[in-house]
């Protein structure tokens, strides 16, 4: 840890606080994972590089390790990239336990669920002090997990009993210890991506105990080229002794959806300022239109309660949370259908149709409307018939307005060093530049106004680069940082040229 210290809090338990005042972008925590491996409920993946592998119905495949016969692609097997697989390979080979290659109807290979827990257990033996001081104290919520009897039983059979029985590890690891490790991973592990974009999960003993807040003050980046080292930076300026907080939910979900995710996946309820406020910090992110009056909005009376009623601020109308959630579920189902469409003009036009349809039902900044806007931002300029070079000024204005509306939300929920903000800043600069050049060509903008508009785009790109400069150079965000920097330099040259002409 660089600028953080560990503390036991009465409410949050073990958590991290700043050890000194830090500025936005400062590195506060940096650590290597204790262990990493395949995600839970994955398909058949290579145990070296985590790419998906094709196995026949009878388990037949050439992508198998020569020593233990478990999944390993030919590249990892031949070039020594399968170092991650070495530990379990020795276990499986010694026990002569075979990989069946069975996959369920939904594409899940439960036999691989044991891999990451096993790697944690092997790391425990290799690094006993780190286990004792850093990993063993991590929360695993055994009591809450036992309440979900089906999942608990599946983990006990597919992981604990499998490792202790067929894998012959009963003398090394107790069932209680294995189930503790399963819980630690489920509650604390982070998803990461390899340099080629394949998903896996990593366990970070310090970063994993960060307190949750639906308006986080830290941003994390994982560097696959450095052994999946994680770096945690301050999103905003922080005082000495201020708690470091991260969000374990999707920022663009509403309060009810975030609470459900936290209860089911992290086993706690959130009572942050955003969750306790029915308006979600004046954004009205979960607010509905009142159906009984013209200007009224429906808000939850007790946002943290599943039994809350919803009341209009202008008239006496009220309704139950059950009815509200049924409405939201129905709208979300429509959005999911649109989102599942192939990327193309039909998908874009359907999202626009739904956004128009929901105007009479939702607050303009409602999370469903905001989600549709985010989808549209990503499609305008990229799908057939709506390529950037062919967009009319009206559609360029449309894309710019969509970006501004989403940024209005992100500026509240993810202030400062936010990757999502950076991507939307980049998206916004493009239509602004094209509109400025179009106006200049049409003689509706003079040279001074053109220069002003381009300077605005440069400012957007500068902030985008400032945010993304900390990302892994090979990641999607790292590549965008380079592109944004090049665009900023080109626009700066154009502005300098205009300045010389105007003098």
pLDDT tens, position by position, 83-131: 899 999 999 999 999 999 889 888 899 999 999 999 999 999 999 999 9
**Residue 34: half-sphere exposure toward Cβ, Cα within 13 Å:** 33
- pLDDT reported for residue 500: 64
What whole-number percentage of the chain has pLDDT above 70? 98
**pLDDT(369) > 70:** yes
Rounded Cα distance, 154 and 159, in Å: 8
Confidence of residue 228 (pLDDT cuts 50, 70, 90): very high
- pLDDT reported for residue 54: 87
Confidence of residue 340 (pLDDT cuts 50, 70, 90): very high
Model pTM above 0.85 = yes
Confidence of residue 78 (pLDDT cuts 50, 70, 90): confident
**pLDDT(79) > 80:** no
Instruction: Specify the pairing of strand 27-31 against strand 245-246.
Output: unpaired
Confidence of residue 154 (pLDDT cuts 50, 70, 90): very high
Chain segment 374-396, per-residue pLDDT in tens: 999 999 999 999 999 999 999 99
Rounded Cα distance, 349 and 329, in Å: 21
> Mean pLDDT over residues 453-460, rounded?
97
Rounded Cα distance, 46 and 417, in Å: 34
**pLDDT(55) > 90:** no
- pLDDT reported for residue 502: 57
Confidence of residue 12 (pLDDT cuts 50, 70, 90): confident
**pLDDT(460) > 70:** yes
Query: Phi first, then psi: what are they for 74, rounded to 5°?
Result: -65, -35
Cα dist. 190→209, 267, 280, 419 in Å? 11, 16, 26, 17
Confidence of residue 427 (pLDDT cuts 50, 70, 90): very high
Rounded Cα distance, 335 and 342, in Å: 13
- pLDDT reported for residue 402: 98
**pLDDT(59) > 80:** no
- pLDDT reported for residue 481: 97
Confidence of residue 70 (pLDDT cuts 50, 70, 90): very high
**pLDDT(58) > 70:** no
- pLDDT reported for residue 81: 61
- Residue in this structure with the two tokens 């200007």, named with its chain if needed: 295
Rounded Cα distance, 355 and 334, in Å: 11
Read off the tokens for 198: 């394949």
Range with lowest mean pLDDT among 37-51, 71-85, 123-137, 343-357: 71-85
Cβ distance 71 to 63 under 8 Å? Answer: yes
> Mean pLDDT over residues 147-169, rounded?
96
Chain segment 236-286, per-residue pLDDT in tens: 999 999 999 999 999 999 999 999 999 998 899 999 999 999 999 999 999
Please spell the DSSP secondary structure of 231-273, one letter per residue. Answer: EEEESS-B-TTPBPEE--S-TTS-HHHHHHHHHHHTS-----H
Tell me the domains of the chain and their CATH numbers.
Answer: 4-33+204-246 (2.170.270.10), 35-203 (no CATH), 266-379 (no CATH), 390-503 (no CATH)
Rounded Cα distance, 463 and 443, in Å: 30
Chain segment 19-32, per-residue pLDDT in tens: 999 999 999 999 99
CB atoms within 10 A of CB 390: 10
Chain segment 408-417, per-residue pLDDT in tens: 999 999 999 9
């Amino acid at each position: 840890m660089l600028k953080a210290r560990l503390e036991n809090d009465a409410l949050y338990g073990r958590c991290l606080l700043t050890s000194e005042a830090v500025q936005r972008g400062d590195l506060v925590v940096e650590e290597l994972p204790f262990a990493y491996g395949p995600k839970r409920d994955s398909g058949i993946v290579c145990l070296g590089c985590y790419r998906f592998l094709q196995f026949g119905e009878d388990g037949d495949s050439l992508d198998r390790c020569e020593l233990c016969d478990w999944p390993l692609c030919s590249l990892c097997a031949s070039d020594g990239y399968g170092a991650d697989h070495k530990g379990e390979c020795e276990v499986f080979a010694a026990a002569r336990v075979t990989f069946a290659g069975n996959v369920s109807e939904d594409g899940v290979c439960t036999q691989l669920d044991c891999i990451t827990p096993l790697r944690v257990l092997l790391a425990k033996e290799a690094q006993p002090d780190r286990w004792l001081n850093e990993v063993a104290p991590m929360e695993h919520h055994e009591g809450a997990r036992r309440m979900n009897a089906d999942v608990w039983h599946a983990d006990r059979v597919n992981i604990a009993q499998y490792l202790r029985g067929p894998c012959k590890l009963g003398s090394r690891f107790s069932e209680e210890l294995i189930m503790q490790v399963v819980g630690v991973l489920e509650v604390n592990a982070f998803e990461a991506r390899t340099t080629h974009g394949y998903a896996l999960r990593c366990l970070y003993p310090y970063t994993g105990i960060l307190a949750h807040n639906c308006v986080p003050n830290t941003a994390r980046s994982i560097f696959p080229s450095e052994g999946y080292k994680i770096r945690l930076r301050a999103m905003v300026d922080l005082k000495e002794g201020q708690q470091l907080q991260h969000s374990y939910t999707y920022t663009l979900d509403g309060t009810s959806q975030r609470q459900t995710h936290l209860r089911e996946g992290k086993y706690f309820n959130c009572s942050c300022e955003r969750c306790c406020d029915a308006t979600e910090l004046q954004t009205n992110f979960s607010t509905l239109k009142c159906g009984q009056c013209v200007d009224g909005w429906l808000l939850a009376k007790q946002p943290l309660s599943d039994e809350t009623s919803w009341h209009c601020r202008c008239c006496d109308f009220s309704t139950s949370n059950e009815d509200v959630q049924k409405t939201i579920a129905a709208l979300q189902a429509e959005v999911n259908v649109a989102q599942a469409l192939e990327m193309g003009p039909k998908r874009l036009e359907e999202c626009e149709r739904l956004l128009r349809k929901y105007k009479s039902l939702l607050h303009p900044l409602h999370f469903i409307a905001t989600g549709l806007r985010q989808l549209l931002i990503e499609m305008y300029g990229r799908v057939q018939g709506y390529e950037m070079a062919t967009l009319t000024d009206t559609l360029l204005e449309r894309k710019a307005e969509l970006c501004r509306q989403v940024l209005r939300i992100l500026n509240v929920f993810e202030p400062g060093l936010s990757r999502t903000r950076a991507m939307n800043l980049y998206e916004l600069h493009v239509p602004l530049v094209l509109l400025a050049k179009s106006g200049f060509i049409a003689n509706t903008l003079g040279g001074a106004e053109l220069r002003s508009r381009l300077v605005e785009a440069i400012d957007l790109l500068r902030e985008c680069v400032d945010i993304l400069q900390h990302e892994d150079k090979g990641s999607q965000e790292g590549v965008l940082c380079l592109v944004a920097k090049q665009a900023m330099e080109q626009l700066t040259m154009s502005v300098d040229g205009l300045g010389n002409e105007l003098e």
